């Protein structure tokens, strides 16, 4: 019997990279997964790759409250509660001190922090007892990289949210944890380092394992945190960064 058979999951930012890998891992372990993203074409492709019997999609932008309300209304109308929420949607942009604009700050925090706050809050009435909420953080919350101060601050905020929410929801037996990837082979990373291959190569060479993470390596940790194998883990942050934040 698959570990997550009979469970229902919601994954945001699910059209590519870590979000898609998490959705695939959850579906492979038996969960039915609602994929959320902004591109309908990409969502259709993602669901086709997983299989319509294990996944469906809802096009939505996590920075828009009306979209989040629609997501939860659609899920509620199916008669399903939620056993798993992987709040993954986020962005990464570089801006060194002296070049940080209010637009950069606002966009980063509205997406990375606000998107997670209001995704989880919208899903809260649907969460079943024993549900697992997984937030996507980053090893950047403890590892300094020039130009990423606003991004790192947003991911540090996510770590704090997980601690507080774990304490608030413990009486409902709902667990809240953070998966914190390091540099991962995703389309977003390629865009971030477009034209700066030497910089990415240098960061990769400095990592203890001398390579980037594969999205499925992060996805498998998401599935673990969603499973009964992690029922005594809450308020924690699990780094998936090849040791980069640890030594």
Helices (H) and strands (E) counted in the chain, each on its own, are 9, 7
Annotated catalytic, 32? no
Instruction: Answer yes or no: are the C-beta atoms of 23 and 15 closer than 8 Å.
Output: no
Report helix angle 40-50 to 17-28, nearest 10: 30
Apex 234 CA angle, 129 and 7, nearest 5: 40
- Cα separation, 242 vs 210, in Å, equals 8
Kindly name the residue from 155, 190, 210, 239 that is annotated as catalytic. 155
Kindly name the residue from 7, 151, 173, 190 that is annotated as catalytic. 151
Task: Give me the phi and psi of 28, to 5 degrees please.
Answer: -60, -30
Annotated catalytic, 155? yes
- Pick the closest to residue 89 from 132, 47, 134 (CA basis): 134
- Pick the closest to residue 148 from 196, 108, 102 (CA basis): 108
For residues 25-42, one letter each, b for 16 or more C-beta atoms within 10 angstroms of the residue's C-beta and e for the rest, the string is: bbbbbbbbbbbbbbeeeb
**Which residues carry out catalysis?**
151, 155
């Amino acid at each position: 019997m698959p570990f997550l058979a009979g469970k229902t999951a919601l994954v945001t930012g699910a059209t590519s990279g870590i979000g898609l890998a998490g959705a695939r891992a959850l579906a492979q372990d038996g969960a039915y997964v609602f994929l959320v993203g902004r591109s309908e074409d990409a969502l259709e492709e993602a669901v086709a790759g997983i299989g319509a019997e294990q996944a469906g999609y809802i096009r939505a932008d996590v920075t828009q409250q009306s979209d989040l309300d629609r997501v939860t209304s659609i899920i509620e109308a199916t008669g399903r509660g939620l056993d798993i929420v992987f709040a993954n949607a986020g962005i990464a942009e570089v801006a060194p001190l002296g070049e940080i604009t209010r637009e950069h700050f606002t966009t980063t925090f509205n997406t990375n922090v606000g998107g997670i706050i209001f995704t989880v809050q919208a899903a809260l009435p649907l969460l079943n007892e024993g549900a697992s909420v997984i937030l996507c953080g980053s090893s950047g919350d403890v590892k300094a990289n020039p130009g990423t101060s606003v991004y790192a601050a947003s991911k540090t905020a996510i770590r704090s949210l997980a601690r507080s929410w774990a304490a608030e929801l413990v009486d409902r037996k709902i667990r809240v944890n953070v998966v914190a990837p390091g540099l991962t082979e995703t389309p977003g990373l390629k865009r971030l380092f477009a034209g700066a291959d030497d910089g990415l190569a240098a960061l990769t060479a400095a990592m203890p394992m001398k390579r980037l993470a594969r999205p499925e390596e992060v996805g498998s940790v998401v599935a673990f945190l969603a499973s009964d194998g992690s029922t005594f883990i809450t308020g924690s942050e699990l780094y998936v960064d090849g040791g980069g934040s640890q030594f």
